Amino acid sequence: MKKILLSLCLVLFVSSAYAGSCPMMANNVDDKIKKAQELRDQGMDAHKAGDHAKSEKLLNEALALFKS
């Protein structure tokens, strides 16, 4: 019985320790979305200007943010 109670307490306390990282993870996601949007906008501007090589480079950088 003691082992079960000890295991249960350990699981509860360990999982609550990770709960504090949620806001940091959300901020990281927000930062990546913002950076990807900026790269996307720059890539589309380059596309409209006729610089397709630069456009592809910028858009691939934006996509790479979501793979990391």
Q: What is the pLDDT of residues 26-63, one digit of tens each?
A: 999 999 999 999 999 999 999 999 999 999 999 999 99
pTM greater than the 0.75 cutoff: no
pLDDT band for position 10 (50/70/90)? low
Query: CA dihedral defined by 23, 26, 27, 28, rounded to 10 degrees?
Result: 130
Better-predicted residue by pLDDT, 47 or 15? 47
What is the C-alpha separation between 36 and 34, in angstroms, rounded?
5
